[in-house]
Structure 1
Amino acid sequence: MSDSFGFHTTAEEASAALSVHIEGKIVLITGCTWGGLGAETARVIAKNGAKRIILAGRSKNSLNETIEKIKEETSSANLVSLIMNLADLKSVRQAAAEVNAYDEPINVLINNAAVMASPYFITDDGFEGQIGTNHLGPFLFTNLILPRMLTTKEPRIVNVSSSVHHFAPIFFTDPQFSNGENYNEWLAYGQSKTANILFAKELSNRYNKEGLLSYSLHPGSVSTNLQRYIDREKNMSKPMLDYEGNNILTEYWVKKFAFRKTLGEGASTTIVAAFDPFIKSQSGLFLHNAQIDSDAVKSYALDNANAKKLWVLSEELVGEKFDSV
């Protein structure tokens, strides 16, 4: 089925084609502000039979707006809000405890929420803001609800990453950018997006034998509130340098990643990663344009040694160890 999907496939089209695999699923999506990829994902799976959708985010008002908009279209949608600030591990633990108290476990977790190329800030726990929000919060939340997820048949975890992982690997010797002294917003974002890919890889390495399917993806270049810190015209008009000082905006990179997508086209890859049965044997891999695409990912982002090393570092930073293989 996924062979027919591509760049212009919309979330509407993908979810309609995969509706039989969406029906009856309990899905949790982080980052569900209306007009964003998470809300679009929730909207289309609500139309196609998801049993319950948990919309997670920091703002109750923002979540309520998304719920109201979805119900205007699908009045029967079973939508639940979950307050969680990924930049605050106490909030993450409280949200995970709430999810684990649900009467039924989650079938699909979509780690969609993120901050992008922000000015330097630190999280409530003292981490550089982008690695803290985009990786450490989701790392802790995922692991805290994972035992219950593993009681379901073929649970899935989807990490929404970015092509910007090409900018930077994990800076294992200095992931916090020397407490901001040598901070670069694009390298910090790139590191956090590489972390999303490595996390999905290690989840698959550890738990695929227990039935878990885990994927990461690039949704495409889509205009959402994620880009609130970005001046696109300014950024694309000057060299953007990766961690080695190379200009990332080569003809190949621009051709493969920089063309704009609609919101619906951007959310389609998330739908495929979350529900397509034809990618089961490719757990741990990376998707782009609604297809598994190994050419779109840097080798350091799928390296098993890096994935394991990041897992250990993440455990140290969040202060909790989880089951290992």
Structure 2
Amino acid sequence: MVYSVLQERIMTRPFGDDGNSFKFSMFLVLCNRLVTCVLAVCCLLWVGESMKPVAPSYGYAAVSLSNVMATTCQYEALKYVTFPLQTLGKCAKMIPVMVWGSIMLQKRYKKRDYVLAVAITTGLMLFFLTGPVSSKKQNARSDAVMWGSALMLGYLGFDGFTSTFQDRLFKGYSMSAYNQMLYVNMFSAAVSFCGLVTSGQLLPALAFIRRHPEALSSIFVLSLSATVGQLFILHTIKKFGALFFAAIMTTRQFLSILVSSALFANPLSTGQWLGTAVVFVALYCKTFLGTKVKPVHPQKSPGRAPIKAGYSTKEGQGTSKEYLISSE
């Protein structure tokens, strides 16, 4: 919840008397990933695991690149559309996960999954068509909604690829969540730093923070809340299972919309509340129907380590790896 509030605060509200807003999304990604790297190192030292990479570098790099792109699209979207629309759009991540799962992992999904995907899409369209969705800065410009929607589609596509490729790493190599967390975020930090340098945003971002030191404290708390959130995520999945965790995440997204409406004056129309209800009812149905987690028995494949039990779920269902990189 802290992460959600600060995300909207940093990207949509001005700092200082000059009325300038923070515009450097990739700098936020860099800060998040650096803090998470520190957490991953501490966790590996705490549990006594080796810090050596388990998978090939290109495996970590592929997840990192898609994750950086997904997170950047998420932050950038807030410049054009409201936070409630962005949050609801993130709820539709099961659709690209299903698409990528069919392509990359040859997964087969049940009719129920397709029905729920259609229900979520219907709720999103209802929200989109029955009330204002552009950010206040854009003054209801139609092109702003178009750009924001395009960025959210980019987020969903890249995020779906990230989740699916994480699944491949867990299934193909015997690695812990902390190992993947360290190297994926290490590569992500490098990618976001290179992006800042090549786009010429690094120095302006540092200059903005120098002029508005309160922005740095908000960015640090944002990064810390996302990072600490990962510890709660891992503990919840380990202790209570993916079902309970999915219910928590769905509730968190709904509460984020309520908080945004209260704190940042983002009132929703009756139709938008109805669309929100359709989306979250569908998500809860997805959570509580067909939810048994099946541990995967170790299997051997040539040149690879056995699969660790506990990292996969029932065929066609999202696995807990979807939330290992960040709580975003």
TM-score when normalising by structure 1: 0.28
Larger radius of gyration: 2
TM-score (norm. length: structure 2): 0.28
Higher RCO, 1 vs 2 (CA within 8 Å, ≥6 residues apart): 2
More helix by share: 2
